[in-house]
Structure 1
């Protein structure tokens, strides 16, 4: 009886908010969905049975539709018929609004007759399946003491407490739960569940998209034509993974076919598809142009969208609609055209998908001035642009629409629809905004330039792209997909004034089959990206971060670095792995004498790697002057190789081996090299290298013997007062030419201040001393400040930690600075 009721009643109830218009497709499980559901609640290979399964997926990806299809399939006996006696569908949004109810009441409300056999229903809880939808609505409700939960199915409680009790297994713990939730709320939700299994809903597969197009078009030839056109546009085809967007794309094409338009133009870009959908919705059947009333309705809809974007509200009450010019008489029309949908029972209205809201928001900025919006939360175009280009890519579609609406062909449609010529003016304003923000120092770390590339691709104007990208001298790119590679390959060539490039390729090429079309395409994109290294006449600095190179990608990369046209001076590799022989990489430095600075940070370098590096640095064509091997897990044997380089390579002036286990033994090898007459090193940084006071004896001898060493950074090593004493004895020697000394976080006390004062008054060269993050009291600092006031002291910069300076010390410091205006004390 219950199954018959579900089968005959529920589709009519659910169809009230249906968008698809194709009920057969909406209510019937596809074969792929059947295969998926077959394993969702099945025991694992080890026999483990999960009683709570979480289906996570973005809004509109099809979670609700899958739950509803499952319930109807169970009702007609085609799935889980031998597994579950009863299946119940609960919507969190509806249930949590109930002031008081019980699980028995919730079950009874969907029963076909008044007398529900409740005792029979709950007698075998292990044969019950609850489909719980919109669980993200429980955000904030899952916290609370266990005493708040109810444990009996007849016990009346507030709706949100009842739901929490069911999810936490306080109610019917043996029953099965299948929950639908958005990924953003998954973390909070999981903490309140007992042993859940998490599955991801991916939306329409390629076959599902094809089936849907077939159900949307009555003419199969037209359906195939439309599907093939969408299949050729990667961006549109990817969007159609979302069922609602698949409906929107298919509807746009069907309506244009019905009106005799060229559908190839409809799906030429994402923007053109949405323009067709919106313009068809607001143009009466048989008419070439909209009425003035339709134009106003669309402008009001765009105003509503802008408010929703900036207030982060997706569903609006009638007061908000009215504030944006949408009165009671306009609502039925907007519902009929499917640009708005009603959410019962709250009587709220919203866009069918966030993408449509973002399209209408972009259109608002072309049609109206944001300062005139009735809600002050709506921001100016500049703020919108910065939001669009933010690195989290959450508003990338809004950016695509904002730029895409300025495409020449789409601008003509806009001007014809609204009878104005605003779009050309907006294009010039957008270019000016991009030029202005390109010079902002705070802009570059926050922007995702790949988003900008995607936006430029939507406008399809190479001249405009060149004008925009010529404004930027620095780019930071993170390649997350093949599409990202393609965008960079297309638009890096427009960056005529590029001086600094930072990129990350992560694991895009790892494990790919080089015989596949996609992999070959990726290698082509990668070659085009790397060609910028040799073709850009202004590019001087390259940073590669958090990346993984396979042999083919490394060979392509290094080939461009070796070209005569490569003008790079700085190459920085941070957290980069090379799953291959590194010979090609190190050979770059034997062919490109223009590379002066090499930084290898957080790279695991083996003994063989270090030998290759030594050979490269000793090559007569190598021009490297500054070398960093920071946090590279260097072994003891590596120090001998680097010491040999210091002796044989007179071009190497700066060496940083911080955050490695150098120790006193490794330092001794460096010091022996520093004392060699052919060593020309000017700066040595050994920060956090496990050096003790014992190592400072060798270092002191090197300071006295080296003719070129000017900077020593030995911070974050436990050298203590005893180590500083040895260094100070060297600093006063006439043959010591050190100018900068870093002793931060070295375990120093005020006992060493006398030695430091002695060095400050005796050294003719020391100009910069860093003592920050050491336990120096007022008496010790008083001794130091007395020394810096001495006429023979050459110090110009003294660095101290701010917390070390009490009122008395601060007063003394102020007096010293007044007497010595050339001294800068920096409190970090």
Structure 2
């Protein structure tokens, strides 16, 4: 048994495609080559390999190399309440805090993360037990902004014997350290790094010992650990703190017109792109709404969504209330009501069928951070309506609806895309709701591969609610069927009926499907009507039926154009 603990802390380049094959235990090679060969089973093929990692780094490992995944899940709703009730002996105070958290859906959902519960407890305890006045945090950006101030106040009480110029004011030393931490957070967030070494801190002008003493903020958001060979590594207490400080740094660069950093991040040259007739640009510098739109597009282009929360924070920090709260840290920008409204309109109108529907939901989250609840209210009214099929849904409506259906405590009986009046891209954005329904009818010959990826995710989820899946008339390419098959093979899959009428499956697809169904003990009904199929493809399905592991009770093959050889 080989245990690799903390893959996310490693900076090894795991090139599974191009690394040389090493199968001889006596052959000398680099650590990253040895690791890829161990994971692929080329080296010590009978050994067991156990890897612990945060999700982002786990994505480096090819799915075909993974036999089992165990997820450490966060708090349930009941455990969230239990955490806050145990945190205070004052029952009235804990009840007030629980009530406030439940009033904000984004805060309540984030409390599944224990560290976020700790951050929330620190902020709300300070705000409700001191003379501090003001509205309690409603969004994630509000909460993390207040968290910085709470830690700053504690630092002043500890190191300055309680002498404060203002309990809500960051000193110049605080701002300097936080911006250096922000630069470290941002530069490594782009690379996907969450662990740092002494040289990384030095490049950002950070002396950890000095920062620890003079900032005080660092003691609760940044820590150091000693790992193998006694080399010190550093990390933020939680990835969300790194993402928040990265957003603080980026908005600081924007407000201070650091065009070099902005151009590198957005990968555009405003001097070349600038059109004198375009009012969105002021010479070589974009307006706030255009900058935020570019940041959103950049986040959607990332394959693993590592910039999603960063962009949510960036939108929240653009509001005057948060800029005022963090006075002096962000600088000043044009966040007039007109500019903010343009930014909100850009989010609502953003359109692209190039990105995963799961990723597009982040647009809805950004609206929440900007405290625009109009879409949420409209979808709430839509769900109450008796004439849903007559109401036209925009793209942002579909993303919001998919999210709300996913997060509902009630499992949806049926998701039928034909029941929603929207565009093709709108139908695509609705697909993530399949994760919280018992029956799904996703009939569309243009949804294809993206559909299979999301459905496979739904079949793998724990718990998986889907029992009846109809993908008839969908153009399922071989790669799409392979993704779907990975879901059917999952031990969490509880699917009982699968309909693939008129999906024109190839021999490769039939092979993947037959292989997956051999290990599926729940599927009872399979429909493959109207497939003009090759004999070889159907031969694979016949072998499936003859397998002792097959649990199918009904196999519909009407009008499949079969010869006498293909099926008895």
Which TM-score applies when normalising by structure 2?
0.53
Residue 341 of structure 1 aligns with which residue? 223
Residue 203 of structure 1 aligns with which residue? 74
Secondary structure, counterpart of 1:203 in structure 2:
coil
CA distance in 2, matches of 1:217, 1:336: 25
Q: Is the 8 A contact 1:307 1:375 kept in 2?
A: no
Matched, 1:303 2:183: yes
In structure 2, the CA distance between the partners of 1:225 and 1:146, relative to structure 1 (3 Å rule), is farther
Residue 372 of structure 2 aligns with which residue? 461
Secondary structure, counterpart of 1:519 in structure 2:
coil
5 Å-filtered alignment, 1:561-600, equals 600=473
CA distance in 2, matches of 1:509, 1:255: 35
Matched, 1:388 2:299: yes
- The one-character-per-residue Cα deviations of 1:641-696 (angstroms, maximum 9, x if unpaired) are xxxxxxxxxxxxxxxxxx85399xxxxxxxxxxxxxxxxxxxxxxxxx989xxxxx
Q: Is the 8 A contact 1:389 1:449 kept in 2?
A: yes
CA distance in 2, matches of 1:500, 1:203: 28
- The one-character-per-residue Cα deviations of 1:312-356 (angstroms, maximum 9, x if unpaired) are 322333443344343452244356541211132433333211111
CA distance in 2, matches of 1:316, 1:487: 48
Matched, 1:445 2:354: yes
Report the more deviating stretch, 424-433 or 224-233: 424-433
- The one-character-per-residue Cα deviations of 1:2-44 (angstroms, maximum 9, x if unpaired) are xxxxxxxxxxxxxxxxxxxxxxxxxxxxxxxxxxxxxxxxxxx
Displacement of 1:394: 3.6
- The one-character-per-residue Cα deviations of 1:579-598 (angstroms, maximum 9, x if unpaired) are 99x9xxxxxxxxxxxxxxxx
Q: Is the 8 A contact 1:257 1:263 kept in 2?
A: no
Residue 330 of structure 1 aligns with which residue? 211
CA distance in 1, matches of 2:394, 2:72: 41
Displacement of 1:265: 1.3
In structure 2, the CA distance between the partners of 1:523 and 1:364, relative to structure 1 (3 Å rule), is farther
In structure 2, the CA distance between the partners of 1:224 and 1:433, relative to structure 1 (3 Å rule), is closer
Two-structure CA RMSD over aligned residues (Å): 6.1
Matched, 1:236 2:148: no
Displacement of 1:365: 2.9
- The one-character-per-residue Cα deviations of 1:536-588 (angstroms, maximum 9, x if unpaired) are 8xx7997568697989998xx9xxxxxxxxxxxx99787899999x9xxxxxx
Residue 152 of structure 2 aligns with which residue? 282
Displacement of 1:459: 0.9
- The one-character-per-residue Cα deviations of 1:164-194 (angstroms, maximum 9, x if unpaired) are 99xx9x99x99x998633444388599999x
Q: Is the 8 A contact 1:307 1:378 kept in 2?
A: no
Residue 53 of structure 2 aligns with which residue? 181
Matched, 1:405 2:317: yes
Displacement of 1:456: 0.8
Could you tell me which runs of 5 or more consecutive residues in structure 2 were left unpaired when the two chains were aligned: 158-163, 268-290, 456-465, 477-500, 506-529, 535-559, 563-568
CA distance in 1, matches of 2:321, 2:204: 29
5 Å-filtered alignment, 1:606-685, equals 631=503, 660-661=531-532
In structure 2, the CA distance between the partners of 1:423 and 1:294, relative to structure 1 (3 Å rule), is farther
Residue 361 of structure 1 aligns with which residue? 246
CA distance in 2, matches of 1:191, 1:146: 22
Q: Is the 8 A contact 1:203 1:242 kept in 2?
A: yes
Q: Is the 8 A contact 2:361 2:400 kept in 1?
A: no
CA distance in 1, matches of 2:206, 2:146: 22
In structure 2, the CA distance between the partners of 1:429 and 1:346, relative to structure 1 (3 Å rule), is farther
CA distance in 2, matches of 1:297, 1:552: 53
Q: Is the 8 A contact 2:115 2:238 kept in 1?
A: yes
In structure 2, the CA distance between the partners of 1:198 and 1:462, relative to structure 1 (3 Å rule), is closer
Matched, 1:212 2:83: yes
CA distance in 1, matches of 2:354, 2:243: 25
Selected match of 1:312 from 189, 192, 199: 192
Residue 498 of structure 2 aligns with which residue? none
Displacement of 1:484: 13
Q: How many residues matched?
A: 409
5 Å-filtered alignment, 1:688-767, equals none
Q: Is the 8 A contact 1:411 1:423 kept in 2?
A: no
In structure 2, the CA distance between the partners of 1:498 and 1:248, relative to structure 1 (3 Å rule), is closer
In structure 2, the CA distance between the partners of 1:553 and 1:272, relative to structure 1 (3 Å rule), is same
Q: Is the 8 A contact 2:88 2:94 kept in 1?
A: yes
5 Å-filtered alignment, 1:72-87, equals none
Displacement of 1:357: 1.3
Secondary structure, counterpart of 1:445 in structure 2:
coil
In structure 2, the CA distance between the partners of 1:436 and 1:148, relative to structure 1 (3 Å rule), is same
Q: Is the 8 A contact 1:542 1:571 kept in 2?
A: no
In structure 2, the CA distance between the partners of 1:553 and 1:334, relative to structure 1 (3 Å rule), is same
In structure 2, the CA distance between the partners of 1:178 and 1:220, relative to structure 1 (3 Å rule), is farther
CA distance in 2, matches of 1:488, 1:299: 44
In structure 2, the CA distance between the partners of 1:426 and 1:523, relative to structure 1 (3 Å rule), is farther
Q: Is the 8 A contact 2:299 2:308 kept in 1?
A: yes
Residue 122 of structure 2 aligns with which residue? 251
Residue 625 of structure 1 aligns with which residue? none
In structure 2, the CA distance between the partners of 1:213 and 1:488, relative to structure 1 (3 Å rule), is same
In structure 2, the CA distance between the partners of 1:312 and 1:374, relative to structure 1 (3 Å rule), is same
5 Å-filtered alignment, 1:41-52, equals none
Which TM-score applies when normalising by structure 1?
0.38
5 Å-filtered alignment, 1:483-632, equals 518-519=409-410, 533=421, 543=427, 600-601=473-474, 631=503
Secondary structure, counterpart of 1:350 in structure 2:
strand
Q: Is the 8 A contact 1:501 1:541 kept in 2?
A: no
In structure 2, the CA distance between the partners of 1:361 and 1:203, relative to structure 1 (3 Å rule), is same
In structure 2, the CA distance between the partners of 1:149 and 1:461, relative to structure 1 (3 Å rule), is same
- The one-character-per-residue Cα deviations of 1:435-460 (angstroms, maximum 9, x if unpaired) are 599799xx542374322112112212
Residue 17 of structure 1 aligns with which residue? none
CA distance in 2, matches of 1:221, 1:189: 50
Displacement of 1:275: 0.9
CA distance in 2, matches of 1:297, 1:500: 38
In structure 2, the CA distance between the partners of 1:198 and 1:579, relative to structure 1 (3 Å rule), is closer
Matched, 1:424 2:335: yes
CA distance in 2, matches of 1:198, 1:419: 41
Question: Which structure's CA Rg is the greater one?
Answer: 1
In structure 2, the CA distance between the partners of 1:433 and 1:484, relative to structure 1 (3 Å rule), is closer
Matched, 1:272 2:184: no
CA distance in 2, matches of 1:461, 1:452: 12
Q: Is the 8 A contact 2:445 2:475 kept in 1?
A: no
CA distance in 2, matches of 1:407, 1:348: 35
